[in-house]
Structure 1
Amino acid sequence: MFKNYNMNQLVLPLDLEVKLQENDIAFSIHHLVESIPHEAFDSFIRYTGCPSYHPRMMLKIILCGYTQSTFSGRKIEDLLNDSIRMKWLAQGYVPSYRTINRFRVHPEMKELIRQCFVQFRCQLVQEKLIDQEAIFVDGTKIEANANKFTFVWKKAIEKFHASLVEKSNQLYNELLENKIIPEIKRENDEQLSIEELTQIVEKLDEVVDEYTQKIENSEDVSERKQLRSERKSPKQIVKQVSDWIARKQKYEKDFEILGTRNSYSKTDLEATFMRMKDDYMQNGQLKAGYNVQIATEGQFALAYDVFSNPTDTKTLIPFLDRIEKEFFSLPKHIVADAGYGSEQNYDDILTKRKRTPLITYNQYLNEQKKKYQNDPFKTSNWAYDEESDTFTCPNEQKLTFRYHSTRTDKTGFQRQYKMYEFENCTDCPLRSLCTKGHEGTNRKLMINEKWEQQKEYVKTKLSEEETASIYRQRKIDVEPVFGFLKANLGFTRFSVRGKSQVDNEIGLALMAVNIRKYAARG
């Protein structure tokens, strides 16, 4: 005897909700999106044309697709035909993949994703799943949707541009010496601008036209032949300078796209070539990607941002600015690894934000080792006399203060140094162990007092049990989010191009990670 099976009879319930399990992930998605205020959807309203799908429904099905590791618009459309939870969330509607793709790159989509994170965090606070004592910051690099060998390197552009400037200046000087063209008014003596190169072409065209006119007016064969020979050189120069103008325009556009970056991809202009951990080429090849920064607590991603620069140090301040502006007020403790430890970051958190940075610096772990602490040639172990303002080296020689120095980095941040120098290191028996400087030069020491004070502050905080226990949570709080994103969700490469669209997609992917973790907790 078999259970009833009849393909000619309707067996699906009219309400698909009854077919879902009580703790199905679709309910978590539904409640989250429904908690977003109505005002957030006003910008999607259209008063002309065919009525559009409700943005709540569109957001629900995209989030549901991402929680099922489905990032393609076509595959999300397929799920709408196959998945019961997707049918329930869409209430029978089946938007095309084009509609889905247009919606997730919509300019106003960023606000909806932000609202998702804000409402989700409020839900976590209400259910006491997070205590709001600290946020844990970390970053990862994710490959961009760009071709592998479309790189443009800043150093190469600078090299070619410098060569073009040198050649164009040399040619201009030769034209003046040979009195082929008159002198033009230059704004910059170092290089010719595009407008000035265009003037040179115009002057040379006039010279070519004069030769052409003479050739047409002459009836002497030998004279005409001589004139054609003389006309050949300016015509070639016109072609060459025209090529330089096109190249200079390209180089200037490249410099504008690069900005402060060292590279970009031709197929995604805002992606930068970075070294990825998952190197499928096995040769250290750089790949176009984005630096994704997240702030977590309780293994939930509470905020995120996307940067084009590969290093984490310069991303912390703008990331914290975005958190305060768009997501939530910063808690008491900001926790991150040594990649974020810098004088500028410490100063920003302590002075501007009045928060506690639990952030190590590059040499922190080494300084905890006995080998480092017992090494007499480490300058941090040298005895310092505050009254005489001198350091004593292993050879019992004194480093005396010489002068103050100020250094400014590319971002405009200034660091103050005190410069110390030995009187004479020439006959020191320990010279080879102490310095690699050339014979005849004295050992110098640069001391940044503010940086040293900040390091002492961090070491003190990390030695206290309360703050040390918070810092120890970093690895088990933020790292699993990236592991879940890449390994479990399978999100290892962006499917859209451009920083604004990438920002939307990583927001959807991180919220999908949050929803899956939240739904699985019961």
Structure 2
Amino acid sequence: MFKYYNMNQLVLPIDLEVILQENDIAYHIHHLVESIPDEAFAPFYKETGCPSYHPRMMLKIILCGYTQSVFSGRRIEDLTKDSIRMMWLAQGYEPSYRTINRFRVHPQMQELIRQCFVQFRCQLIEEKLIDEKAVFIDGTKIEANANKFTFVWKKSIEKHHANLIKKSNEVYDRLLEEQVLPAIERENEEELSVEELKEVASSLEKVVDDYSTKIEASEDPVERKRLRSERKTPKQILKQVNDWIARKEKYQNDLEILQNRNSYSKTDHDATFMRMKDDYMKNGQLKAGYNIQIATENQFTLAYDVFPNPTDTKTLTPFLDTIEERYFDLPEYIVADAGYGSEPNYDDIMIKRERTPLIKYGMYEKEQKKKYKDDPFKPSNWIYDEVNDTYICPNQKTLSFKFVSTRKDSSGFVRQFKVYECEDCTGCPIRHLCTKAKESTNRRLRINLKWEQQKAYVQQKLSEPETAEIYHQRKIDVEPVFGFLKAILGFTRFSVRGKFKVKIEMGIALMATNLRKYALRGV
């Protein structure tokens, strides 16, 4: 016996909502997007032309597509025709892939995504799924939508630019010496600008044209041969100068794109070449990508940002600024791994924001080991005399305070060091174990008091039971989000180019992971 099956019988259409399961993810997408205020959709409204699809509907189908690991506009279009949940969210509309792709990178989409995160966090607080006690921060690198061998390296550009400046100055000085060209007014004596090179080219063109005129006017073969020979040098130099103009404009454009970065991709100027973890060839190949920073609690992403620099250390302060300006007020505890532990970051969190950093510094784990604590050549283990402000080295020599040294790093952060110097290192039998300085100089010790105080504060906080428990929560809170995003959702490469568009797509992908986890919480 078979169940009744007849393809020729007319079946009346029914509401697709009836077919969906009770806890289907489409309901969560619908409720989230409907909670966004109408004001956020106002910029999409057009008074003239053909009526557009409602932005709520467009946002719902894009979010739904990403939750199903569908990141292509064409495949999202296909889902609106054969997926029940997509057909219900679209209410029968079938926008084309061009419409979907245009909406996904719309200038106002970034605000819509921000509203999604704000409303989703309010929902989590209301349902007591997060307690707002701490926020966990971490970063990952995701490959950009850029071709493989399209790298432009800053060091290479600076090297070729310096060679161009040197050669152009030499040629210009030689032309002045030989009185081929008149002197031009220069803004910078060290290098010729593009405009000044164009002046040199214009003068050389006149010289070449004068020779050409004389050659045409002369009927003497010997004279014509001599003039052609004399014209050859300025003609070659003119060709070289025109090449320099094109190259200098290119180098200046490259340096403007690079700014503080060391590389960029020709097919996505905002992407930087980074070392990715998924190095299949195991040869350390660099790939164009972006550094994604997220803030989580209970494995839900509450805020995010996109950065072009590969290291996490310098992303923490701007990321915290983004969180406070666009998402929510920071909780009491800021938790991150040792990659974020630095004096500027501790200074920013403790003094500027008045929060507690639960962030290890780079040497934290090593300093806790018995081998490190028992090493007599580590300055942190030397005897310090507070009264006389001196240190005692392993050879029982005194290091006295000499002066205060100030250093400024590339980002403009200023550090102060107290410099101590040993009274006499001459003939020290353990000198080779203590210092690598020259034999003629005494051992010097630089102490950053502020950094030492910050380290002591962090050590104290990480040793307290309550804060230690919060810190240990970090690995099981923020790391699974990246695992879910890459391994389960399958989002390992961007579909769009440019930081603005990448930021939008990253927000959609992270919100999709939130919705997937939220839908599974009761299963």
Paired position in structure 2 for 1:427: 427
Aligned in 2, Cα 1:101/1:12: closer, same or farther, shift over 3 Å? farther
The one-letter code matched in structure 2 to 1:207 is V
Paired position in structure 1 for 2:96: 96
Paired position in structure 1 for 2:459: 459
The one-letter code matched in structure 1 to 2:466 is E
Paired position in structure 2 for 1:177: 177
Matches within 5 A, 1:355-370: 355-370=355-370
Helix, strand or coil: the match of 1:477?
Answer: coil
The one-letter code matched in structure 2 to 1:144 is A
1:446 Cα deviation (Å)? 1.2
Matches within 5 A, 1:69-468: 69-468=69-468
Gaps of 5+ in 2: none
The one-letter code matched in structure 2 to 1:363 is M
Deviates more, 1:397-406 or 1:331-340: 397-406
1:387 Cα deviation (Å)? 1.6
1:224 Cα deviation (Å)? 1.2
1:221 Cα deviation (Å)? 1.5
Helix, strand or coil: the match of 2:362?
Answer: coil
- Calculate the TM-score normalised by the size of structure 2: 0.99
Identity fraction in percent: 73
Instruction: Confirm or deny that 1:2 pairs with 2:19.
Output: no
| Distance in 1, Cα, partners of 2:424 & 2:388 | 18
The one-letter code matched in structure 2 to 1:149 is F
| Distance in 1, Cα, partners of 2:167 & 2:425 | 48
The one-letter code matched in structure 1 to 2:514 is N
| Distance in 1, Cα, partners of 2:66 & 2:9 | 34
| Distance in 2, Cα, partners of 1:462 & 1:282 | 36
* Number of residue-to-residue matches in the alignment: 522
1:6 Cα deviation (Å)? 1.2
The one-letter code matched in structure 1 to 2:127 is E
| Distance in 2, Cα, partners of 1:161 & 1:5 | 76
| Distance in 2, Cα, partners of 1:445 & 1:234 | 61
Give CA deviations for 1:148-177 in whole Å, capped at 9, x if unaligned: 110000000011001101101111111111
Aligned in 2, Cα 1:435/1:261: closer, same or farther, shift over 3 Å? same
The one-letter code matched in structure 2 to 1:41 is F
| Distance in 1, Cα, partners of 2:266 & 2:423 | 55
1:275 Cα deviation (Å)? 0.3
| Distance in 1, Cα, partners of 2:162 & 2:426 | 42
| Distance in 2, Cα, partners of 1:436 & 1:403 | 21
The one-letter code matched in structure 2 to 1:449 is L
Gaps of 5+ in 1: none
Deviates more, 1:420-429 or 1:447-456: 420-429
1:142 Cα deviation (Å)? 0.3
1:218 Cα deviation (Å)? 2.0
1:440 Cα deviation (Å)? 2.2
| Distance in 2, Cα, partners of 1:264 & 1:54 | 37
1:119 Cα deviation (Å)? 0.3
- Calculate the TM-score normalised by the size of structure 1: 0.99
| Distance in 1, Cα, partners of 2:492 & 2:426 | 57
Helix, strand or coil: the match of 1:415?
Answer: strand
| Distance in 2, Cα, partners of 1:461 & 1:10 | 71
Helix, strand or coil: the match of 1:196?
Answer: helix
